[in-house]
Structure 1
């Protein structure tokens, strides 16, 4: 008996996770051998992966990117997300040495705020830097060198402006008119390049805050903040301040099938059940009105509901709450179509971050391959 070969339409149907009013259907993954008796062609292969895998770019700029990965398993998509959040190394302030702090902010709170400020610098320099290991459990740590530590300074003192006291006596409350350095910002950081750091971190490429206008503290005349900061290389898995992304998320591509015509006032109501732009209203054409069995007979010129951009949908299932739409629409998500959104904190461009996650996943696979080879060589 010849093996059964499912049609492409049937294969596409199996990829859709169905969303009903109170339940989800077809949630289990059926794409592995022998799930459907007698059928072949489900075994994974590099050739089929290359044929089916696609990347679609929706939005691309240094701070934020949105793109689709099509033809992937959820485990691979989630591996990229976890690597983006926790395993791409970046630079952040790790140790703060406070010489003088007479502001109202406690030393430990000030140090914590400084550590959470995203830094940027020469990308090649960031890759050139080595890991810094702190001494723990009696084991010696790394020695401070130009290879593993960037030194930053902050020295700010608040003073009266020339006519500040006079304006204050007249009731002026604007601190910018009364004081010098009433607000402390990351733009006041200064870097002290050490050794070979001058080759990478100088001029525009110096290590500096991504956003120079983050408010760190407020000062008043006589108050001073003088401190030294050591920035080291780290990963988001160790502390969130090292994570290079503000968010790294993915969701499955929504699928909306209008199975029966929705016309007139029902079409307007149907469009309001979805986020703006998902459903659009179009007039019924002459050809549709004349074609028998189209459902649009005699409706020429009336508005009909048409799916315009399903990617904007959140699959809220609002339309299924209305009885007139229950049998006219099918909602779902495509299980192998992942819509990624990456927001960079500034050290790397958002598209570079994804490419870096691919490189790291490849390195993990190569390491696993070598380990398996060593295991089998001893059998």
Structure 2
């Protein structure tokens, strides 16, 4: 807070020392969303901003641990929604960026086209295959560098061989037609030396299905019904695909989340009582059911806030005459976080991995500083 806006305790005799007045508390903890634009969007980071009225604005580990909490609101096989309270937007964004870009996963990197007479070009089909989520745990694999040989520890091999008979009906090629080859590549490298022994594209010392970590769970695809192409009569797709371990910061196909996003907790406040027909109009203005009608008896009714969490900030309730009646706010330190997994990990596992990666980053910074 600049010196021109600093408030002295002498100017507010009714405010106890160590307590912020209501308007400053609102400015510090809420974003107020007006009909045209939000205000109070910047956080007040200066530790001595309210020193003149005895309020400590500093942040320390003990204070953070006391205020921070998480609560799971919704959890399914592929999606989780939870609240994170008591953190800054920068920290919430750090988790989002780590989930998208730094949690490793498996994805198809190399596609060897044997025959493709479909209408889809080779490079387009290869790109579509790269985006198919694989049912493979990346923790069981090693990274494949430029100098490494593809083997059972760093590569998964899939095969696709689909054709449409001449005179037959069109064939839909789906992801379930990618078949896992536990023994590695079945294709031989082209060589110009007739005396040289033909080599495979991979060098597996053993079959992957004989390894304990893979025997219980075949390395297939996560979803069987993803449409990859459609074949007309006489058309063929024959290929081999090699999947390796990578990160989303290299290519989006390695991102383990379909989406990871957050929003500040909405807070809808009715400043003045809205009764009668005005209450009905206010309820109808909101498309997501934030408001409801409360029966006061004797034929009277008023508008109340029923579920502010569902507010999408469409601002319909604050446009026109309602702007002085309703105020839309966002809580600055309360974030609704949503993670949707592509399937290799459960959504709660993904978040724990993001926390671990952030912890490792902090440890590196501390060690460098010391």
Partner of 2:235: 223
**Dislocated runs of 4+, deviation >4 Å:** 7-12
SS at match of 2:223: coil
Partner of 1:75: 90
Partner of 1:320: 318
Match of 1:22 among 11, 36, 41: 36
- Give the Cα separation in 2 of the matches to 1:262 and 1:132: 65
TM-score, normalising length: structure 1:
0.81
Match of 1:59 among 65, 74, 96: 74
SS at match of 1:109: helix
Say if 1:8 and 1:200 are closer, same or farther in 2 by CA, change over 3 A. Answer: farther
Q: Is the 8 A contact 2:111 2:239 kept in 1?
A: yes
- Give the Cα separation in 2 of the matches to 1:61 and 1:229: 31
In the TM superposition, what whole-angstrom CA distance separates every residue of 1:298-338 from its partner, at most 9, and x where no partner exists?
xx442211111111002222222221x23222221111111
Partner of 2:284: 272
Q: Is the 8 A contact 1:248 1:343 kept in 2?
A: yes
Partner of 1:144: 150
- Give the Cα separation in 1 of the matches to 2:25 and 2:287: 25
Give yes or no for the alignment of 1:101 onto 2:112.
no
Q: Is the 8 A contact 1:275 1:313 kept in 2?
A: no
Q: Is the 8 A contact 1:253 1:311 kept in 2?
A: yes
How far apart are residue 274 of structure 1 and its match? 2.0
Q: Is the 8 A contact 2:50 2:56 kept in 1?
A: no
In the TM superposition, what whole-angstrom CA distance separates every residue of 1:174-218 from its partner, at most 9, and x where no partner exists?
xxxx45x82222111211225373322335x22222211112222
Give yes or no for the alignment of 1:33 onto 2:47.
yes
- Give the Cα separation in 2 of the matches to 1:22 and 1:215: 43
Give yes or no for the alignment of 1:362 onto 2:359.
yes
- Give the Cα separation in 2 of the matches to 1:236 and 1:48: 34
- Give the Cα separation in 2 of the matches to 1:107 and 1:315: 44
How far apart are residue 61 of structure 1 and its match? 0.5
RMSD: 2.3
Structure 1 residues 1-379: aligned runs within 5 Å = 4-7=17-20, 12-13=25-26, 14-38=28-52, 39-121=54-136, 123=137, 126-134=138-146, 141-159=147-165, 178-179=168-169, 182-194=171-183, 195=206, 197-198=208-209, 199-202=212-215, 205-284=217-296, 300-323=298-321, 325-373=322-370
In the TM superposition, what whole-angstrom CA distance separates every residue of 1:333-352 from its partner, at most 9, and x where no partner exists?
11111111212112212222
In the TM superposition, what whole-angstrom CA distance separates every residue of 1:263-320 from its partner, at most 9, and x where no partner exists?
11111111122233211111116xxxxxxxxxxxxxx442211111111002222222
Unaligned ranges ≥5, structure 1: 135-140, 166-177, 286-299, 374-379
How far apart are residue 133 of structure 1 and its match? 1.7
Q: Is the 8 A contact 1:93 1:231 kept in 2?
A: yes
How far apart are residue 240 of structure 1 and its match? 0.7
SS at match of 2:160: strand
Q: Is the 8 A contact 2:48 2:58 kept in 1?
A: no
TM-score, normalising length: structure 2:
0.83
Say if 1:183 and 1:202 are closer, same or farther in 2 by CA, change over 3 A. Answer: farther
